[in-house]
C-alpha cells in the first residue's frame, strides 16, 4: 500500500482490518476502548458517590466480599 495515495479513511479501514485479523473482534474492541476518553467529571462524580462512605465502611465491605467469595 502506498501511503501517499491513501486517504485517511482507507488507512483507518486497513488498520481496523489488521486489528480484527490480529486480535479478533473482541480483542479489537478491547484495544479500541483503551483510547476512549469518556465523558463527565469523574472526580466530582466520585465525591458524590462516596460522600457518606467512611474508611471503616469500605473496610467492612471488603471483608464482607471476601467472606462471600472465599477470598
pLDDT at 1 over 70: no
Instruction: Compute the average pLDDT of residues 6-22.
Output: 93
Q: Where are the domains of the chain?
A: 1-38, 40-71
Predicted TM-score (pTM) of this structure = 0.46
Contacts of residue 48, Cβ cutoff 8 Å, sequence gap at least 6: none
pLDDT tens digits for range 33-55: 998 887 889 899 999 988 999 99
Judged by average pLDDT, the poorest of 1-15, 18-32, 50-64 is 1-15
Instruction: Compute the average pLDDT of residues 13-19.
Output: 94
* 8 Å CB contact between 65 and 71: yes
- Residue 67 to residues 21, 23, 60, 61, 63: CA-CA distances in angstroms? 42, 37, 11, 10, 6
Q: Is 42 helix (H, G, I), strand (E, B) or coil?
A: helix
H-helix segments, the chain:
8-33, 42-49, 55-69
pLDDT at 66 over 90: yes
Amino acid at each position: 500500500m502506498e501511503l501517499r495515495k491513501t486517504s485517511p479513511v482507507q488507512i483507518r479501514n486497513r488498520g481496523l482490518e489488521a486489528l480484527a485479523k490480529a486480535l479478533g473482534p473482541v480483542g479489537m474492541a478491547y484495544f479500541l476502548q483503551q483510547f476512549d476518553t469518556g465523558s463527565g467529571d469523574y472526580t466530582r462524580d466520585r465525591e458524590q458517590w462516596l460522600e457518606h462512605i467512611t474508611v471503616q465502611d469500605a473496610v467492612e465491605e471488603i471483608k464482607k466480599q471476601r467472606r462471600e467469595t472465599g477470598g
